[in-house]
């Protein structure tokens, strides 16, 4: 897989990657023939010309821990697109039928050993390239060093947000060596984040302002990732203190504070990191190199705004793209469409990413009950009144935010030239229709539609489908057979169709001529975009204001935050803020909610929930970036999400919706305070006299 930073993948990078593979084979052959390895004979060939450096860069970037289509939280960095899905790690964005749908509490393949392999490559370049400085122009030489510092910063960042304090290996460890040089203990978490900061700063100082060629980084790429990393560091320093008993602890072997911050340092550290996050984001914003994608956007035109947001995730010329991982059929591909497309496009599976109604409720454009839940009845709650009726399922979504429609396929919408027909069932009783359940609480989640007397009793007035195709229940409607669930489900005993009544649209290939299959998708994945940077700036600004800090660059913090959020909301077709964001919890939550909406299904939310420390029960009322009663969807450590299910009524030929806990392949999540840090791999702890396991594990 090749990486581009707002630059189109071209023949040059393919050639570089080919040279890289040839180089690996040559190095392997050298080892087989007992010829000295590359650090003895290869340096001069690599470090004295741009072709050699291209090979070295390609090697490093091929190992970078970027989370894209081939990453899932359950597996970690295995670079495998099998069962490709997004937002299924207990974030509330989406669900899938498989065991990979679980809270983000560990990775099957921990990012540990492979991290140190990449660190060695970066450290080797930092140590050896100065010997060949005269081979390059000063600006080119500096850029190569900057790339090494960028790689090292990014690797330490990925380790820090997983483990807290990690061994800060900043030099090449030669083998064999004295035992005290081979064993590097975990640094404190604060020392680790300080190293991340120092390496990003060094990279930014050295890198060119514009990437010198396809596949390389630049000053503003590094600044964008620095802003993200420092936002994480500031959040951990601050919000670890909000966890009951303070989330901090020492390693048993070394006595080092491997997670959390000291009582006397956390506040100053959080302010420092938020300040650095804000300044780094502002550097990108002020550079003028990037902007929000608005090629098809038009004011007051929801259809244009929707199409604009659909297109921006596949347009490689987008001015919003800061860091993009490209794919190219047939050599470098993934399988997202093969596993997350609607059921009628199943190949070999489908419906891997099913958005929830909880996620939908973050967006503008729906009538609500007083508690904020989407309104489906005429009463003041989902158990009161009678169901609201609609001529078609899409009528329910007629005022929905265009951004939401670009992210989520609604029942009845058109995709690849076909209607996505979704029904939970058919109702043949009389209207008006009373709510199907008298209790929609967490405790009744396992009472499902097929348990209702309307389905099991006589006369039967509710028809559901256990399976697709000819095994569906069928109702005679106006002389024609109508299947209970339509072609896209949900089928109550088959998780291969939608689980929630909704399908993912974001990232899918919309070309009607494209036939999904494993290894056929080649749409790019945007790892970092300009909207990320605006959101980083807004959140850091609010956090600094909350802490009573002055603006680091003299701008008005609340004006900067408000401008960033309104720029994003305008492009999204959302309702604009009418006044400045306030420097309080409400203001902070406006930014958090916007972040949850804009960056959904991009491997961002699972990390945001962790750094905000809102996933364990006591703090879960802030889980959504806004206040929601945590008891409505959780019970102690466990929690669940809901679907939005359309039913067809034969009396009027109209539809009604029921918002109910997801009832196909029921998923229950569990999260505890200890899960905010991954465990250190047991083998690393057991074999080392200095590597500490996490406290309380």
> What is the reported pLDDT for 99?
93
Q: Please name the helix (run of DSSP H) or strand (run of DSSP E) that holds residue 654, with its range, or none.
A: strand 654-661
Q: Which pLDDT band holds residue 180 (cuts at 50, 70, 90)?
A: low
Hey, which bits of 222-288 come out as E strands?
249-250, 257-259
| pLDDT of 586 | 97
Confidence at residue 426, expressed as pLDDT on a 0 to 100 scale: 98
pLDDT at residue 179 above 80?
no
Quote the tokens at residue 341. Answer: 């497309």
Over the stretch 595-609, which tens digit does the pLDDT of each residue have?
A: 999 999 999 999 999
The mean predicted confidence, pLDDT, of the chain is: 93
DSSP lists the bridge partners of residue 114 as none
- pLDDT(21) > 60: no
Q: Give 357-379 pLDDT, tens digit per residue.
A: 999 999 999 999 999 999 999 99
| CA dihedral for 567, 568, 571, 575, sign (positive or negative) | negative
Mean pLDDT of 172-188: 82
CA 583/CA 92 separation, integer angstroms: 27
What pLDDT score was predicted for residue 22?
A: 43
In this structure, the number of other CB atoms found within 10 A of the CB of residue 109 comes to 16
Chain-centre distance for alpha carbon 577: 25
Q: What is the mean pLDDT of residues 644-656?
A: 98
Distance of CA 667 to the CA centre of its chain: 19
Q: Is the pLDDT of residue 241 over 90?
A: yes
SS3 212: coil
- Whether 31 shows a pLDDT value over 70: the answer reads no
According to the model, what pLDDT value does residue 470 have? 82
Whether residue 23 is predicted with pLDDT greater than 70 in this model: the reply is no
| pLDDT, tens only, 286-345 | 999 999 999 999 999 999 999 999 999 999 999 999 999 999 999 999 999 999 999 999
pLDDT for the residue numbered 24: 44
Residue 422 · residue 488 · CB < 8 Å: yes
In this prediction, residue 215 carries a pLDDT of: 72
Q: What is the pLDDT of residue 469?
A: 80
Are 663 and 449 a contacting pair, CB within 8 Å? yes
pLDDT band at 213 (very low <50, low <70, confident <90, very high): confident
Determine the pLDDT at residue 92. 98
Query: Would you place residue 245 in the very low, low, confident or very high pLDDT band (cuts 50, 70, 90)?
Result: very high
3-state secondary structure of 503: strand
Interatomic CA distance for residues 634 and 647, integer angstroms = 26
The average pLDDT across 47-63 equals 95
Give residue 177's pLDDT band: very low, low, confident or very high (50, 70, 90).
low
Handedness of CA 392, 396, 402, 406 (dihedral sign): negative
Sign of the dihedral through C-alpha 47, 49, 52, 55: positive
Q: Which residues pair with 645 in a beta bridge?
A: 658
Asked if 567 contacts 619 with a C-beta cutoff of 8 angstroms, the reply is: no
pLDDT for the residue 371: 94
Confidence of residue 486 (pLDDT cuts 50, 70, 90): very high
* SS3 (DSSP) at 257: strand
How high is the pLDDT of residue 178?
Answer: 63
């Amino acid at each position: 897989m090749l990486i581009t930073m707002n630059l189109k993948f071209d023949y040059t990078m393919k050639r570089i990657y080919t040279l890289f593979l040839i180089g690996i084979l040559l190095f392997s052959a050298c080892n087989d023939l007992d010829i000295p390895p590359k650090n003895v004979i290869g340096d001069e060939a690599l470090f004295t010309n741009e072709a050699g450096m291209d090979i070295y860069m390609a090697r490093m970037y091929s190992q970078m821990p970027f989370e894209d289509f081939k990453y899932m939280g359950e597996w970690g960095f295995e670079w495998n697109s099998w069962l490709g899905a997004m937002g299924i790690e207990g974030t509330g964005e989406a669900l899938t039928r498989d065991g990979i749908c679980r809270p983000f509490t560990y990775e099957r393949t921990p990012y540990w050993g492979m991290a140190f392999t990449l660190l060695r490559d970066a450290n080797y370049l930092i140590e050896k390239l100065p010997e060949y400085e005269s081979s390059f122009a000063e600006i080119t030489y500096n850029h190569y060093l900057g790339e090494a510092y960028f790689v090292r910063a990014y690797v330490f960042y990925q380790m820090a947000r997983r483990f807290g304090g990690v061994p800060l290996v900043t030099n090449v460890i030669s083998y064999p060596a004295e035992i005290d040089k081979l064993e590097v203990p975990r640094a404190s978490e604060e020392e680790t984040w300080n190293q991340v900061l120092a390496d990003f700063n060094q990279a930014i100082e050295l890198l060119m302002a514009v990437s010198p060629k396809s596949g390389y980084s630049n000053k503003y790429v590094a600044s964008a990732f620095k802003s993200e990393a420092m936002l994480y560091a500031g959040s951990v320093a601050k919000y670890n203190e909000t966890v009951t008993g303070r989330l901090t602890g020492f390693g048993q072997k070394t006595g080092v504070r491997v997670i959390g911050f000291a009582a006397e340092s956390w506040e100053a550290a959080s302010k420092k990191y938020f300040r650095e996050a804000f300044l780094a984001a502002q550097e990108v914003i002020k550079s003028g190199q990037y902007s929000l994608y608005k090629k098809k956007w038009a004011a007051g035109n929801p259809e244009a705004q929707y199409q604009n947001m659909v297109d921006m995730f596949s347009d490689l010329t987008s001015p919003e793209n800061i860091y993009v991982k490209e794919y190219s059929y047939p050599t470098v591909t993934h399988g997202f469409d093969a596993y997350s497309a609607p059921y009628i496009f199943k190949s070999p599976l489908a419906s891997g990413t099913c958005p929830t109604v909880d996620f939908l409720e973050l967006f503008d454009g729906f009538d609500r009950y007083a508690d904020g839940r989407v309104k489906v009845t005429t009463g003041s709650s989902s158990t009161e009144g009678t169901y609201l009726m609609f001529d078609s399922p899409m009528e329910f979504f007629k005022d929905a935010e265009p951004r939401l429609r670009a992210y989520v396929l609604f029942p009845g919408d058109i995709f690849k030239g076909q209607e996505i027909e979704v029904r939970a069932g058919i109702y043949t009783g009389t209207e008006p229709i009373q709510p199907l359940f008298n209790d929609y609480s967490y405790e009744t989640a396992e009472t499902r539609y097929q348990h209702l007397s309307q389905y099991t009793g006589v006369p039967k007035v509710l028809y559901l489908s256990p399976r697709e195709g000819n095994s569906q229940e069928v109702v005679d409607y106006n002389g024609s057979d109508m299947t209970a669930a339509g072609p896209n489900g949900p089928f109550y005993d088959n998780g291969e169709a939608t689980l929630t009544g909704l399908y993912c649209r974001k990232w899918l290939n919309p070309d009607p001529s494209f036939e999904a299959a494993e290894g056929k998708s080649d749409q790019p994945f945007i790892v970092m975009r300009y909207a990320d940077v605006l959101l980083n700036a807004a959140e850091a600004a609010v956090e600094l204001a909350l802490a009573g800090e002055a603006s680091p660059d003299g701008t008005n913090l609340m004006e900067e935050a408000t401008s960033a959020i309104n720029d994003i909301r305008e492009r999204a077709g959302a309702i604009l803020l009418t006044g400045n964001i306030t420097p309080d919890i409400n203001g902070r939550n406006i930014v958090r909610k916007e972040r949850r909406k804009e960056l959904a299904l991009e491997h961002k939310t699972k990390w945001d929930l962790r750094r905000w420390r809102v996933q364990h029960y006591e703090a879960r009322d802030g889980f959504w970036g806004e206040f929601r009663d945590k008891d409505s969807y959780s019970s102690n450590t466990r929690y669940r999400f809901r679907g939005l299910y359309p039913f067809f009524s034969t009396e009027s030929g109209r539809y009604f919706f029921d918002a109910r806990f997801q009832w196909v392949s029921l998923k229950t999540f569990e999260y505890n305070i200890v899960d905010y840090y991954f465990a250190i791999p047991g083998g690393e702890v057991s074999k080392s006299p200095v590597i500490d396991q996490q406290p309380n594990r």
